[in-house]
Structure 1
Amino acid sequence: MGSATPSPAPVRVLWLVKGLGPGGAEQLLLLAAGVADRERFDYRLAFVRPDKTHLVPEFQALGLEPERLGAGSDRRGGWVGDLRRALRDVDVVHAHSPVLASAARLVARTLPRTRRPAVVVTEHNEWTSHRTPTRLLNAATAGLDARHWAVSDQVKETVWSPLRDGYAVLIHGIDPDTVRPDPGARSRLRAELGVADDEVLSLTVANLRRNKDYPNLLRGARIALDADPSLRFAAVGQGPLADEVAALHASLGLGDRFLLLGYRRDVHDLMAAADVFTLASAHEGLPVAVMEAFAHGLPVVATEVGGLPHQVTDGVEGLLVPPADAAALARALVAVAADDDLRRRMGAAGLERSAAYDIRNAVREQESAYAALRTASART
């Protein structure tokens, strides 16, 4: 009897991300880790920012131990040496940040060709949302990629025009199996938040950053509350603008009608408690939180920016309003809050749409690319 053909060694893949805070790209990686093919692919995860470790326990629970680059160095760029060592031992590095993507491209070129991994990149945000030096460095080095994706058509359209055709749109998503709140979550969370049964709760899940435009959200909420006192608001998020947002919240007299909840791990339970999902952003890629809201059957009120118009059909799964227009945001919120049937119809349409956002589709396409790149490298 002949001996069995040995299985090929797993493709070694390094996921590279700026931090492991509760941001959209990080959440997508966590969801991808839960459905990835761990037999055919040896996944590793590296990050840089020491202040962004919120999701480390979640990755560890999935058997993926994150490595913080530069942890043993006090120098500002000490992580670059760790990155070079990490790149020597993988077949593919997949970067999820324009700064780290640029670094990975350049550092990879310092390695011998036989030890040089293929670099692939996912653009999660519009290029126009990045600082000018970041855009310039990203544009200057993007030609070194073996593959690059954008998370939405809108993100692709902001890529520097000479490079744009090389970007494929790959819609990421959610794991529908994880969108399972506790059976009693709605009543329990509404009691915790002090929301009565006859009140309409709007939930926002967005970090406290400029692109999420919390001033627009807070001012819109103030106008909406003055028009319809049955509305209530809650927002999950943390970030560098926490003090600024809190000060504006106080100056608008929002009190307990708008709860700033900070970082929470029970987002799915909070969505079960909500009646509307609201996003007032100035810039967006393709927000995971909107996909999750659909899976919970929530109507969405959002600004018409980034990938949102491709997610939310105005008048079907929710209502879209112009960015930086607090009055328009308030009118949409009041309209949805006043009409129970409208909320049910939009929630049902969103729930139906959520089936298209299974992250397994994106992960399988990425893994096919990883395997092809390893095979191509072996032939050269």
Structure 2
Amino acid sequence: MRILQLIDSLEAGGAERMAVNYANALVDTLGFSALVATRKEGALLEQIDSKVTYLFLHKKRQLDFGALWRLRSFVLQHSITHIHAHSTSFFIAFLLKMTMPSLKIIRHDHYGNASFLAKRPCKVLQFTTFGFSGVIAVNQQLKDWSEKRLKARNVIYLPNFIPLAPKKYTKITCLNGRAGKRIIVLANLRPQKNHFMLLDVAAQMKLSHPDWTFHLVGKDFNDEYSLAIKNKIRALQLENQVFLYGSRADINCVLNQSDIGILTSASEGLPVALLEYGMQPLPVVVTAVGELPNIINNGLNGWLVPSNEGVLFYKVLITLISDPSMRNRMALALQQTVLEGYFSKGVLRKYIQWLENL
């Protein structure tokens, strides 16, 4: 098999990280691996292994036949047998399949609003389903949805994973705040990440523990949601408690400066951020959405809080802050959870077996 990972951008999001993780892991496992970014490069470009065959398509619009032809030429040049299309890149993969019927294409569903699947737009997915040899879902909810709603064939749940030996980076990012009292949030500025609950928690924390600070690392889309977050930070006078950094390539460096990892999401698939928290290791407080309840054993390897329960989230966070021994114990327990179930070797074994049986 000669597999190409297809992704629309290389910004530092969860789907983008997984496209890079698959490409890097497969180059050693299979001897060949390719990755194509269709629309935009970004911070993850430098994380691609030098042995991975890479192409940037410069795709300008949804129906860009020049980009489609460049992708087809690349596939022919490198004798690609499988296209693994992550998130929204599935459409150009489908168009390519129409010109190359023997090509096997896979859709990887990273949909982050898994808690609101009833409202998910799906006309294009329904129209293109017949062209895909299989679907990978990042949690059981998405697997069930593809099977029932789209009548998709060969659907498998494969958890997100992180590499066994993550690449080391030169320290670039220096976090604000006091060392030993930093709370990290790895999440792009999207509504499903529910940053407003986070800011409510930060406002309470300012009153009770003003020396603890919140550090928001993730893509800033400079849209209405982003503007509303910044306005609320100013309205609550949290400029010295909450800091925005945008996308960062040196995530290991950022996590090394952090003390607690949190996610206040209203909806999730399986966030790569949680796996990264675990490998640091960091103690965590997260909302009970998506696949998170299947990873966090409440009170043992982290704390789970119902979505939109900001007051309870604050209380649990205070409990964690006040007990350093609990933080250490939970961090190590989460690290063990990640080591046992969310590393590349075990997931790739299932992945390759599944591809061979398509």
TM over 0.5, shorter chain: yes
2:136 pairs, out of 142, 149, 152, with: 149
- 1:318-337 mapped onto 2 (5 Å cutoff): 318-337=302-321
1:172 pairs, out of 154, 160, 183, with: 160
- TM-score, length basis structure 2: 0.86
Deviation of 1:286 (Å): 0.8
Larger Rg: 1 or 2? Answer: 1
- 1:249-288 mapped onto 2 (5 Å cutoff): 249-288=233-272
Structure 2: distance between partners of 1:211 and 1:165: 28
Structure 1: distance between partners of 2:186 and 2:176: 16
- 1:116-155 mapped onto 2 (5 Å cutoff): 116-125=102-111, 128=114, 134-155=121-142
Structure 2: distance between partners of 1:143 and 1:315: 44
For residue 377 of structure 1, what is the aligned residue in structure 2? none
Return closer, same or farther for 1:311/1:133 CA change in 2, 3 Å cut-off. Answer: closer
Q: Does 1:105 align with 2:94?
A: yes
Tell me the amino acid that sits aligned with residue 125 of structure 1. Answer: Y
Tell me the amino acid that sits aligned with residue 339 of structure 2. Answer: A
Deviation of 1:175 (Å): 1.9
2:7 pairs, out of 17, 20, 28, with: 17
Deviation of 1:313 (Å): 1.6
Q: Does 1:349 align with 2:340?
A: no
Tell me the amino acid that sits aligned with residue 68 of structure 1. Answer: F
8 Å CA contact 1:181–1:272 kept in 2: the answer is no
1:195 pairs, out of 150, 159, 178, with: 178
8 Å CA contact 2:43–2:247 kept in 1: the answer is no
Structure 1: distance between partners of 2:325 and 2:195: 28
2:148 pairs, out of 152, 157, 161, with: 161
Q: Alpha carbon RMSD of aligned pairs, Å?
A: 2.9
Return closer, same or farther for 1:368/1:86 CA change in 2, 3 Å cut-off. Answer: farther
Structure 1: distance between partners of 2:28 and 2:259: 38
Cα displacement string for residues 200-258 of structure 1 (whole angstroms, at most 9, x for unaligned residues): 32111111112212112112211233233342211111221443322221122111212
8 Å CA contact 2:263–2:287 kept in 1: the answer is yes
| Structure 2: runs of 5+ lacking an equivalent | none
Structure 2: distance between partners of 1:165 and 1:93: 16
- TM-score, length basis structure 1: 0.81
For residue 80 of structure 2, what is the aligned residue in structure 1? 90
1:292 pairs, out of 276, 279, 282, with: 276
* Secondary structure, aligned partner of 1:42: coil
* Secondary structure, aligned partner of 2:39: coil
For residue 48 of structure 1, what is the aligned residue in structure 2? 38
For residue 229 of structure 1, what is the aligned residue in structure 2? 210
Deviation of 1:133 (Å): 7.9
